[in-house]
Structure 1
Amino acid sequence: MSPVFSHGSLRLYLLSLLDESPRHGYELIQALSDRFGGTYSPSAGTIYPRLAKLEEEGLVTKTTEGRKTVYAITDAGRAELDARRPELDAIEEEVTDSVRRLADEVRAGVNDAMRTLRAELASAAREAKRNASRVDPRQESRDAGRDARAAGMTAVRDAEAALNEFRQQLRTDLRSEAARGALPVDVVPLLKGELDRVRRTVAEALSRR
C-alpha cells in the first residue's frame, strides 16, 4: 500500500487529534483507523516516536493515569496548529482521497474474489469430469456427487467470506464518510445498482453449469 500521509503530515494530524481531546496512544491509533474507515491503522512504532518528538518540542505533554500514558496538546501545540491551518486543511483532503483510494482497492479485491470463485467452480467441474472417466459408472456417480458437494461447500464458504469482508469494509467506509458529512446522495442508488449487477452476473455464471 502506498504511503497514506506525506512526510510530516502525520505529525500535524496527531496534533489536530489531540486538539479535539487528550488521548492515549491506542486511542490515537483507533481514531486514525476510524477516520480511514478501518482501511488504514498505523502501528505503535509509527505513532509513539512521533508523540515523543512532539513532546520534546513542547507541543504535547504526557501524564500517567494508572497503566496508561495520556497525551494532551499544549498552548504551543495549538499555536502550531493555528499557524499551519492551511496545511492541515490540505491534509484533510489527502485523508479523504486516501479513504476513497483504499475503498477502491477493497472493491477491486472483492471483484477479484468473485472472479476467483467462478474460476474455482469451473475448475472443480472439470476435475470432477476427468475423475469420472477413471472409475466404473456406479463409483463415478458417488464420487462425482461427493466431489461436487465438497467443492460447492468450499465455494460457498469462500463466497460468504468475500461478501462479509465486502460488507464490513463498505459499511465502515459509508459510516466514516457520513460522520464527516461527505456522503454523496447518489451513493446508495449506485451501491444498489452495483450489487444488483453483481448478483445477476453470479446468477448467470451459476446457471451455465
Structure 2
Amino acid sequence: MHRTEHRPAGRPRHPHRSRRSGPRDFDWELGPGRSGRGGRRGRKGGDVRAAALLLLAEAPAHGYSLIQQIAARSDGAWSPSPGSIYPVLQQLEDEGLIEFTRVEGRKTASLTETGAAYVEENREALGEPWDSEQLGRGIPAESAALNTALKSLMSAARHVMTDGSPAHQAQAAAIVADTRRRLYGLLADDES
C-alpha cells in the first residue's frame, strides 16, 4: 500500500533546499547578518557584501576563493562561512551587480558594468571590511592570537585524522583531551 506524507498545505517538502534559505540572521531585504529588528544580530565578522564587491572589483572569483581571500586579508581574524558568502553572491546577482560564468568548471562571479560603477561610487563607504578596526568586534590581540592558534590546531588535527596511523590518532586524541583539561584549569586558577 502506498503511504502519503501529510504536511500542512503550502509548506515545502524540504525547506532547507529552498532558494530563500540562509543563515538564521539573514534578511533578504536587508542582507546577511542583518535583521529588521535592530541591525547586526549575532554576527561575528565583517561586511560580507562589501568584501565580496571589493574583491570582485579586483578580479573574478568563486565563493571559496573569496572566503580564502577574506581570511588572508584579515590575517585569519575573519573567515566567512559558505553559509554567509553564497547567499550574498546570490543577492548581488539578483541586484544585477554581479554575474556568474563557468571557469574551469567552477561557478565564478564577476562584476557587471553596473556592479563596477556601484563599487567606484561607493568605494569609501565600502571601506576595508577585513581590517581589524572595521570588523567592529574589538577583539584584543591575545584573543585574535588564540583564535589563530585554534585554527592551526584544528588543521593539524584534521591532517592526523586523515593521514595518521591509528596509533597517531590515539595519541592526538590524548593530547587534545589533555589540552582541554589544561585550558579549563586556567579558568579554575583564576577563580581561586
Structure 1 length normalisation: TM-score?
Answer: 0.45
Higher helix share: 1
| The structure with more radius of gyration | 1
Structure 2 length normalisation: TM-score?
Answer: 0.49
Greater RCO (CA < 8 Å, at least 6 residues apart): 1
